[in-house]
C-alpha cells in the first residue's frame, strides 16, 4: 500500500495533465492541484519546467511499470485507489495509439507532451499554477 500511495502522489502531480480530450472522472480539487503542483515543482521556483515535467513523468512511469517490462497495463494499476485507477484507465484508452491495451513510455510521453504544450498557454516552456488550473478546468469531464 505504501508503494500505491507513493505512486498516487507522483501521479497526482501529473493528474491534471492527461491525454488530450480524455474525459476525467471527478477531478482533483484546486487545493489538491496546488499540492501536486508544489510536489512537481522540484526547484520550488513557482513553475514546472519541461525538465521537471519529464522527471516527474519518468518517475511516475517507472513506479507504475511494476513488472518492469517497459509497459503500463491495466493489471499494474489494480492496487491504486479507485478514483486514480479510473482516471488512469481512461488515459490508457486514449493514449494507447497502437491499441495493444498497454502503454509504452513513448505513448505516455507523446500524450503528456501534447498536454504540456496545450497547458503552456504563454509558450514559455514552463507551467505556472494558473496555467495548470486553467488547463484542468478546460478539460472535458466525465458525466
**Pick from 105, 95, 130, 112: nearest CA to 52:** 112
Mean pLDDT calculated for residue range 124-135: 95
- pLDDT value for 27: 63
Handedness of CA 92, 98, 103, 106 (dihedral sign): negative
- Kindly state whether residue 116 falls inside one of the protein's structural domains: yes
Tell me the C-alpha to C-alpha distance, in Å, between residue 48 and each of 40, 71, 118, 136. Answer: 7, 25, 14, 15
- Kindly state whether residue 121 falls inside one of the protein's structural domains: yes
3-state secondary structure (DSSP) of residue 121: coil
pLDDT of 13 over the 50 cut: no
- pLDDT value for 140: 63
* Residue 110 · residue 95 · CB < 8 Å: yes
For the domain that residue 106 is a member of, what is the CATH number?
1.10.238.10
Per-residue pLDDT tens for 56-86?
A: 999 989 998 999 999 999 899 888 888 878 8
Cα–Cα distance measured from residue 35 to residue 33, given in angstroms and rounded to the nearest whole number:
5
- Kindly state whether residue 35 falls inside one of the protein's structural domains: yes
- pLDDT value for 4: 40
- pLDDT value for 68: 95
- Kindly state whether residue 143 falls inside one of the protein's structural domains: no
pTM reported for the whole predicted model: 0.74
- Kindly state whether residue 126 falls inside one of the protein's structural domains: yes
How many domains, in total, are found in the chain? 1
pLDDT of 98 over the 70 cut: yes
Per-residue pLDDT tens for 31-55?
A: 888 998 999 999 999 999 999 999 9
Amino acid at each position: 500500500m505504501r508503494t500505491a500511495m507513493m505512486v498516487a502522489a507522483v501521479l497526482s502531480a501529473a493528474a491534471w495533465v492527461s491525454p488530450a480530450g480524455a474525459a476525467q472522472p471527478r477531478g482533483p480539487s484546486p487545493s489538491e492541484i496546488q499540492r501536486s503542483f508544489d510536489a512537481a515543482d522540484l526547484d520550488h521556483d513557482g513553475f514546472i519546467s519541461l525538465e521537471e515535467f519529464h522527471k516527474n513523468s519518468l518517475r511516475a512511469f517507472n513506479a507504475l511499470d511494476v513488472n518492469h517490462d517497459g509497459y503500463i497495463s491495466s493489471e499494474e494499476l489494480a492496487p491504486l485507489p479507485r478514483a486514480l485507477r479510473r482516471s488512469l484507465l481512461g488515459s490508457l484508452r486514449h493514449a494507447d495509439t497502437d491499441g495493444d491495451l498497454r502503454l509504452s513510455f513513448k505513448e505516455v510521453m507523446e500524450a503528456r507532451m501534447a498536454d504540456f504544450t496545450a497547458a503552456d498557454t504563454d509558450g514559455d516552456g514552463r507551467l505556472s499554477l494558473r496555467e495548470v488550473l486553467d488547463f484542468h478546468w478546460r478539460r472535458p469531464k466525465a458525466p
